[in-house]
Amino acid sequence: MAATDFLETPQGRRLAYHKSEGTGPTIVFLGGLKSDMEGTKAVHLEAWAQARGQAFLRFDYSGHGESSGTFEEGCIGDWHQDTVVALSELTEGPLIVVGSSMGGWQALLLAKAMPERIAGMVTIAAAPDFTEDGYWASFSDEQKAALDTVGHVELPSDYMEPYIISKRMIEDGRQQLVLRDALDLPFPVRCLQGTADTAVTTETAVRLLDHASGDDMRLLLVKDADHRFSDGPCLGLIENAVLEVMEPS
């Protein structure tokens, strides 16, 4: 396996990444909350792109994987900064952005920050605005008070150790919301969502589809697929979606 490379950001963070050279457009994988670039989908897409001779980038946000910092110190805005720096410094030309879960939110933020670079987008169980509509909306009065007194709350996860959700993540998330104002996606978009997903609901997927404006945007619901969306058939659907946005009919 190729050695990990590192990028120093203007914010003083050190981002770990793997980049494969090839023809464009460059496929970029944006991972989920507390995930890393060694996840099944990221590694699979990299091998698939390499077999096609196509450029590919996967990286770890700060506080994730091999990058500097701790998860508890980070927030959506920090990871958006990481994404913009990584793509600006490590890629050229058109991009096909593939965002999983929180990475789907990051993909939508990217669409606002550099729409001219994006040639197509694929989201997998996209979780836009989840700090507000998921976490904050479901917090009890005691949990909301704990944000002020303790500075964080612990939330159980179906997939790993509990999430530590900081007051900063909640407050910063409110500055990054994408479902409250106009969201223009002027390129092909494919949204993939499993009906057995316990982390992101199908209602969230439909809300994104209804809210965003774009001439070529489709949602595919996959019966019984869970949040990981990483078994063989699901990986094939991701490949097909990338091909669709890259070569729209």
Parallel/antiparallel/unpaired status of strands 152-155 and 217-222: unpaired
Answer yes or no: 44 catalytic: no
Distances (CA, A) of 84 to 61, 98, 129, 178: 11, 14, 19, 16
- Paired tokens of 111: 């669409």
Classify the phi-psi angles of 68: left when phi > 0, otherwise alpha if psi is within -120 to 50, otherwise beta.
beta
Report yes or no: 129 and 205 within 8 Å, Cβ to Cβ: no
Catalytic residue among 101, 129, 166, 226: 101
Q: For residue 158, what are the CA distances in angstroms to 185, 200, 213?
A: 31, 12, 33
List 82, 129, 172, 197, catalytic entry: 197
DSSP structure class, residue 166: E
User: Closest by alpha carbon to 44, among 235, 228, 180?
Assistant: 235
Residue written as token pair 């897409």: 45
Asked about 197 being catalytic, the answer comes back as yes
Sign of CA dihedral 28, 47, 193, 201: negative
With contact defined as beta carbons under 8 Å apart, do 7 and 86 qualify?
yes
- Catalytic residue IDs: 101, 197, 227
